[in-house]
Amino acid sequence: MVSTSARESALAHRNAVIALAGNPNAGKTSTFNALTGAFQQVSNYPGVTVSIKEGTAHHAGVDYSIVDLPGIYSLTAYSQEEMVARNFILDGQVDVVVDVLDSSNLERNLYLAAQLLEMRTPMVLALNMMDIAHKRGITLDARALSVRIGVPVVVISGNRGEGMPELLAACASAIAAGPPEATHTVDYGHEVEEAIERLTADVAGVAELAARYEPRWLAVKLVENDESAGAVVQQLGATFLLERAQAEMQVIERHYHEDAATVIAERRYGFAAGATRDCTRPTGEARQFATERIDAVMCHRVLGPILLVAVVASLFVWVFKISDEWAWIPWFGGWLSPTGWMAWCFEELAQVCAPLENEAPMLHSLIAHALIGGVGGVMEFVPLIFVMFLFIAALEDTGYVARVAFILDKVLHIFGMQGKSIIAMIVSGGLGAGGCAVPGVLATRTLREEKDRLVTMLVVPFMNCGAKMPVYAMLIAAFFPAHRTPVMLVMWLLSWCVALGAAWFLRHYVIRGEQTPFVMELPPYHIPVLRSVVLHAWDRTWMYGRKAGTIILCISVLMWALMYFPQLPEDAGLRMSPNERAAAGLAHSFAGRVGQAMAPVSELAGFDWQTNIALMGGFAAKEVVVGTLGTSYSMGEIEAKEASPLSERLAKDPDWDAVRAFAMMVFVMIYAPCLATMSAIRRESGSWKWALFSTGFNTAVAFVLAVVVFQTGRAMGLGHL
């Protein structure tokens, strides 16, 4: 551990660092948002794929760096999250730790606080969710808890942003006071304490260890047989400490007839129970909490799945109504829908660039087709994406997402998946849409069984992520305008069916192994906080827009170049009209040749060579499918000067109909994960083998299903709906 003087010296050259720790669902993230507002950035902890958030807070003329550590129950370091939280504090760059506690479950939350106290880092307890504790008939005495634990205790409300100035003031005081007194740490009992004291003296005798770690903390970890602590000791060559720790463990086990780790855990729980008893008192018989009454309906084994479908259907209804159907944006004396307004902006931009067609045809093609037709085709759906993110964030804020995991747990178990896999699938878009497969893959790190992690990360790309939404929205607007919600609901259900079927196949034929049980805490219901929901939705939408302005822009320009070069010879097509020459030029290009080479096979699924070009772009990012399709059709459109939206253009095309559109949606939903997701799978699995397997497996499944949909629809004589 760093000394007080070293900490003061460091503070003179940087902002004080406040690390937020706490159990999952204790309100840590809402506290972080309340402290930092929009001043946030997300990064990966060095060497692992666990994300940490960083932000800045201001108080009394001082800037503080706020770090949101992963939500954990313990510092035993079984999972990557626990390891990251522990190492971040031990690295000596943290000036104060704020342990955010769920006041309605104080005893369970104090188990982590007991471990943090042993690290001897300045610490503040933040009592969150006091209103829920009151509703459960519990009153907490923050002053009594502070005296019992020996650190400052502040009452806050993360959702409402209350108590933040007091929390920052307490942090400043804790930094000035230095490490808390060791007298308030857990008393493990006579036999264990003697063993810890002997081992603490041994650790203190190793200068390099004593300089980096609190000796008592490390001694406790060695007695617990903590693998990470043992590895550190071994790396420094102090292997004699491991031998002495083993001897002390044997003494403890002979005395208690239990392993040392269990004895230590029981004493920590006793410490948490005693502190809870000293600072809480009931206000009378606790009435049945509203959460329990709601869960009796929402988590019912029959009503629960029905209500889940109803919630998702309602989500789709309101997303389409607000973003695309209702005209509520003022526009030159009239009104437009948000997506209509975005389309109008890009149409006007196309008209502005029209004079360049004769003066600089190549520049005009780049602007009109790659930028306006490509990026503009994606940006047109930003309002829809924002509204989708808004509703998803609201559902997450209420606590309903955890109920979805509970409702679907038994279903997933039938198909060979671990219950916690649901979280990764929901993050990827399993609640309807609006997710992303990259954080979904990263979310699999919470699964401790390697085979469970592998199966989950291979099936999360089947979920309807936000990148696929523009494709769905464009094709639904063209061919299913009167059936928006039913079609989206079918796509949602189909994504789950395909993912579960793939999981069953992988579990039985590719990745075999035992399944682990599912244990998850259901947080209490909350009323969504508007500021938090909007901030969350804006953050996700901004990331989407930034992706459109960088990755998608680069890919759109690359795809335009492949569709523009090589040019037709000067003497070719002299008798062709300008539009016929444009279409012939596209067919003559590099992309056109590849698309035509694939056509004999792809036509089984209804995909012509122009569609093949768009789908090739989708291997990099699914959003590119719309932009590339717009580029390929605009370069050969019937009315070259008409900048009509892609949906209208395809609806008028005699080669397109509802069956072909639906087959394409099915293919886009399932085929190869984007490059970012492939990279995440490689990092998480530790091998490119599984990333490439995912690409081949998903694309094969997608093509088979698309062929079945298209050929069945054709045989039934289906067309426009």
Q: CA Rg, the chain, in Å?
A: 29
Question: What is the Cβ-side half-sphere exposure of residue 351, based on CA atoms within 13 angstroms?
Answer: 8
Other residues' Cβ atoms within 10 Å of the Cβ of residue 43? 9
Confidence of residue 598 (pLDDT cuts 50, 70, 90): very high
Q: Which of 600, 595, 607 is nearest to 562 (CA)?
A: 595
Alpha-helical (H) ranges within 122-189 are: 130-135, 142-149, 164-177
Tell me which of 645 and 696 has the higher pLDDT: 696
pLDDT at 244: 92
pLDDT at 134: 80
Paired sense of beta strands 123-128 and 153-155, if any: parallel
Position 173 pLDDT exceeds 80: yes
Angle at the Cα of 389 (from 487 to 289), degrees rounded to 5?
Answer: 100
pLDDT at 45: 47
Helix 303-320, helix 382-398: angle, nearest 10: 150
pLDDT at 12: 45
Most confident range, picked from 8-22, 84-98, 574-588: 84-98
| C-alpha distance across the termini of the chain, in Å | 69
How large is the average pLDDT for residues 21-48? 73
pLDDT at 448: 63
Q: What's the rounded Cα separation, in Å, for the pair 634 and 654? A: 16
Q: Which of 30-34, 89-93, 690-694 has the lowest mean pLDDT?
A: 89-93
Q: What's the rounded Cα separation, in Å, for the pair 24 and 100? A: 10
- Hey, what are 277's tokens? 């008893």
Query: What is the maximum span of the chain, computed from C-alpha positions, in angstroms?
Result: 100
Q: Is the separation of the CB atoms in 465 and 437 below 8 Å? A: yes
Q: Which of 38-42, 100-104, 643-647 has the lowest mean pLDDT?
A: 38-42
Q: What's the rounded Cα separation, in Å, for the pair 500 and 400? A: 22
pLDDT at 672: 94
Q: Which of 541, 209, 563 is nearest to 388 (CA)?
A: 541
- pLDDT over 90, % of the chain: 30
DSSP SS3 for 317:
helix
Position 440 pLDDT exceeds 60: yes
Give the tens place of pLDDT for each residue, 468-481. 988 999 999 999 99
Most confident range, picked from 89-93, 137-141, 356-360, 601-605: 601-605
Q: Is the separation of the CB atoms in 65 and 40 below 8 Å? A: no
| Residue 66 DSSP label | E
| Residue 645 DSSP label | -
Give the tens place of pLDDT for each residue, 239-287. 899 999 999 999 998 888 888 888 898 899 899 988 998 898 766 544 4
Q: Which of 146-160, 256-270, 538-552 has the lowest mean pLDDT?
A: 538-552
pLDDT at 282: 67
**What residue ranges define each of the domains in the chain, with the CATH number in brackets?**
4-180 (3.40.50.300), 190-282 (1.10.287.1770)
pTM over 0.75? The answer is no
Confidence of residue 1 (pLDDT cuts 50, 70, 90): very low
Distance of CA 294 to the CA centre of its chain: 27
φ, ψ of residue 281 to 5 degrees: the values are -150, 140
pLDDT at 42: 52
| Residue 45 DSSP label | P
Position 71 pLDDT exceeds 90: no
Position 595 pLDDT exceeds 70: yes
Query: What stretch of H or E contains 483?
Result: none
Q: What's the rounded Cα separation, in Å, for the pair 334 and 383? A: 19
pLDDT at 239: 86
Q: What is the mean pLDDT of the chain?
A: 83
Query: What stretch of H or E contains 100?
Result: strand 96-102
Confidence of residue 220 (pLDDT cuts 50, 70, 90): very high
How large is the average pLDDT for residues 415-421? 78
Confidence of residue 47 (pLDDT cuts 50, 70, 90): very low
pLDDT at 170: 95
Tell me which of 664 and 553 has the higher pLDDT: 664
How large is the average pLDDT for residues 393-405? 83
Q: DSSP letters along 198-264, please?
A: HHHHHHHTSHHHHHHS-HHHHHHHHHTT-HHHHHHHHHTT-HHHHHHHHHHHHHHHHHHSS-HHHHH
Residue given tokens 């199966």 in the structure block: 455
- All residues at 6 or more sequence positions from 144 whose CB lies less than 8 Å from its CB, including other chains: 278, 279
How large is the average pLDDT for residues 105-121? 90
Query: What stretch of H or E contains 556?
Result: helix 551-564
Confidence of residue 2 (pLDDT cuts 50, 70, 90): very low
Position 74 pLDDT exceeds 80: yes
Confidence of residue 455 (pLDDT cuts 50, 70, 90): very high
